[in-house]
């Protein structure tokens, strides 16, 4: 449900995080990559985790609309 919004926003080169960094989108199949899902404690879908310098910086669980996702990204 939120995948098209995430793809659209991360594909927009003009959209940056609040710190001015560009965005990359990586998705995982939690059924195939269970160890990775457990490592980051993904218990519900959708779970979006933002990484900064290789470490989790922020996350949200559940569906957000486009404005909510933009706000999340701008806070990074």
Beta strands in the chain, from DSSP E residues, in sequence order: 47-52, 55-61
Contact in structure between 61 and 46 (CB atoms under 8 Å): yes
Neighbours of 42 (CB within 10 A): 19
Q: At the top level of CATH, which class does the domain 3-74 belong to?
A: alpha beta
Model-wide pTM > 0.75 = yes
CA distances from 21 to 42, 47, 62 (A): 25, 21, 24
How far apart are alpha carbons 59 and 51 in whole angstroms?
A: 9
Q: What pLDDT, in 10s, does the model give residues 36-73?
A: 999 999 999 999 999 988 999 999 999 999 999 999 99
């Amino acid at each position: 449900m939120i995948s098209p919004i995430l793809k659209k926003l991360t594909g927009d080169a003009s959209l940056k995080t609040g710190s001015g960094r560009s965005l990359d989108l990586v998705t995982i199949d939690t059924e195939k990559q269970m160890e990775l899902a457990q490592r980051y404690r993904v218990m519900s879908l959708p779970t979006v985790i933002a990484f900064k310098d290789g470490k989790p910086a922020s996350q949200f669980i559940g569906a957000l609309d486009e404005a909510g996702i933009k706000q999340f990204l701008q806070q990074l």
